[in-house]
Amino acid sequence: MAELHDLTALEQGALIRSGVISPVELTDHYLERAARLPREYVDGAFAFLDPDAARRRAHEVAAVGPVGEGASPLAGVPTAIKDLNLTRGVPTAFGSPAFAGYVPEVSDAVTLAIEEAGLVSLGKTSTPEFGSPCYTEPEGRPPAVTPWDTTRMAGGSSGGAAAAVAAGLVPVAHGSDGGGSIRIPAACCGLVGLKPTRGRISGFPMYGDPVGLATSGSIARTVADAAALLDVLAGRRAGDPSWAPEPAGTFLEATGREPGRLRIGCFEQPVIADVELHPEVRRAYDDTAALLTSLGHQVEGIPVPIPADAVPVFETCWAVLTALSTVTLTPEQQALLRPLTRWLGERGAAVSGPEFGLAIGQLRRLAAQALVALAPYDAVLTPTLATLPLPVGAIRDDADPAADFEAQKRFTPFTSAWNVTGMPAISLPLHQSSEGLPIGMMLAARPAAEELLLSLAAQVEAAVPWKDRRPPLW
């Protein structure tokens, strides 16, 4: 007999609406599960787990009674919020000892949207310092690991969120993605990871990314769950500097539509690093291209749309964004930063204002060139990662942060391309290695075309279902 955590988030929401279970019962189920799973795993997934607050919130949602027309189908469903997002009254450390004990007085747009939709947050999911690395090994805490092999990393920077969803600690979770930070952990943990188009989700009130690389998005076990959470998160606020056009309907509705026959470009040459694909990743890529062809789509190889000279421009912007996260810290806080953060921050602080402005302009021109080159295609297929999930500690190198940064590029040479262009992209858990490790494949679509992307992803999921594929820790 299926347990509650075996059900998808949407199935759980339907049970709440029908009165079969209450938000309180569902929240208790997940909190009891968190108490049963290995402590180190749970602590690696959650930076802060707050059972008392979660139960109070569940009672508040239950007291509202049956939800009306237009309410989120995820109302009453447990979730969690990444430790990078301001959450009023809840410890939020941004993955760093420098902010230990910090409790925000306001919530950001993501937190407010989750609360307004009636979801129940169990706490804050773990992230590396300021969300910078592609692995989640925060100082002084257990690493976030994949439940498929707990000696291997969950990826980053939304590694805690992915570890929580993949082990059935929450059915769906929010993540954020400035260079692959949703899609990388989704690939490591065998999940769906959706990075929406630039401007789809508000950055209120901080608006901390002047480059436009980062956005929030969904981590889930199914495409439909990811779409339903995007419906919760999406929307502009009055102060937003830019925004995506409204969809024709809901994103969840899009998962029930046939995409039609699409023209899909594909490439497997890494974008930001000179690295060979793992043989099993290459085989998975070839199998995915064949699957798309069998579904009736026109699939054709294309050149890499972003040139190699984009890499140093991206790195300049990335370093400055790190510097912006650290420049206002006190000397005492600066001393607590890990070597990679200090190295990137110093590199960014050495960039002058005019140099930063020129880098942003150049990055936008490179993005425009890529968008023009990809305009004939409805979607683009690449691997998500170059290799299988790596052992914990395989990338982190505190003695040589430059080597650490280069190793991150070799691990994730595809994902940041779609942050540069602002295109929506989704990682799908289509394959497993001979060792049983998940292998993600990534699809991207034209700007603001999440509905088409989700329709295609749902078609792929229907052809090769993965919902009932569960890790040993389940």
Q: What is the pLDDT of residues 309-331, one digit of tens each?
A: 999 999 999 999 999 999 999 99
Structure token digits, residue 103: 């409790």
Q: What is the reported pLDDT for 268?
A: 98
Q: What mean pLDDT is predicted for residues 50-55?
A: 97
Question: How far is residue 313's CA from residue 308's CA, in Å, rounded to a whole number?
Answer: 10
Q: Is residue 473 part of a domain?
A: no
> In terms of Cα–Cα distance, which of 272, 81, 101 is closest to 165?
81
Helical (H) or strand (E) element with 173: strand 172-177
Give the percent of the chain with pLDDT over 70: 99
Number of H helices, E strands in the chain: 17, 11
Distance from chain centroid for Cα 392? 19
Question: How far is residue 117's CA from residue 88's CA, in Å, rounded to a whole number?
Answer: 17
pLDDT tier at 361 (50, 70, 90 boundaries)? very high
Q: Is residue 1 part of a domain?
A: no
157 is catalytic: yes
Q: Is residue 474 part of a domain?
A: no
Q: Which entry of 72, 126, 132, 157 is annotated as an active-site residue?
A: 157
**8 Å CB contact between 438 and 384:** no
Q: What is the reported pLDDT for 67?
A: 65
Q: What mean pLDDT is predicted for residues 169-186?
A: 98
Q: Which entry of 121, 132, 181, 427 is annotated as an active-site residue?
A: 181
- What is the span of the domain harbouring residue 428? 9-463
In total, how many domains does the chain have?
1
Is pLDDT of 1 > 60?
Answer: no
Phi then psi for residue 134, to 5 deg, are -95, 15
Q: Is residue 4 part of a domain?
A: no
Is pLDDT of 69 > 90?
Answer: no
Rounded CA Rg of the chain: 20
Structure token digits, residue 465: 């279902």
Sign (positive or negative) of CA dihedral 32, 37, 41, 45: negative
Q: What is the reported pLDDT for 64?
A: 87
Q: What is the reported pLDDT for 454?
A: 99
Residue 439's domain is classified under what CATH number? 3.90.1300.10
Helical (H) or strand (E) element with 320: helix 310-326
**8 Å CB contact between 153 and 159:** yes
Q: Is residue 404 part of a domain?
A: yes
397: exposed, middle or buried (Cβ count in 10 Å: 0-12, 13-18, 19+): middle
Helical (H) or strand (E) element with 41: helix 39-45
Up-side HSE of residue 271: CA atoms within 13 Å toward CB? 28
Mean pLDDT score across all residues of the chain:
97
**Overall size of the chain counted in residues:** 474
Give the model confidence (pLDDT) of 377-412 as tens digits: 999 999 999 999 999 999 999 999 999 999 999 999
Question: How far is residue 401's CA from residue 407's CA, in Å, rounded to a whole number?
Answer: 10
| Runs of H (alpha helix) within 335-449 | 339-349, 353-374, 401-411, 416-421
Phi then psi for residue 464, to 5 deg, are -135, 75
pLDDT tier at 66 (50, 70, 90 boundaries)? low
Give the model confidence (pLDDT) of 224-282 as tens digits: 999 999 999 999 999 999 899 999 999 999 999 999 999 999 999 999 999 999 999 99
Q: What is the reported pLDDT for 2?
A: 82
Is pLDDT of 68 > 80?
Answer: no
Q: Which entry of 82, 124, 195, 409 is annotated as an active-site residue?
A: 82
Q: Is residue 150 part of a domain?
A: yes
CA 24 to each of CA 15, 35, 89, 173: distance values in angstroms, whole numbers, following the listed order = 13, 16, 21, 18
467 is catalytic: no
Q: In what order do the strands lie in the sheet with 379-383?
A: 172-177, 215-220, 192-195, 425-432, 438-445, 379-383, 263-266, 298-301
> In terms of Cα–Cα distance, which of 27, 123, 93 is closest to 325?
93
121 is catalytic: no
List beta partners, residue 445. 379
Q: Is residue 275 part of a domain?
A: yes
Max distance between CA atoms of the chain, in angstroms, equals: 63
Q: Is residue 387 part of a domain?
A: yes
* Inter-helix orientation angle 353-374/310-326, to 10°: 130
Q: What mean pLDDT is predicted for residues 95-113?
A: 97
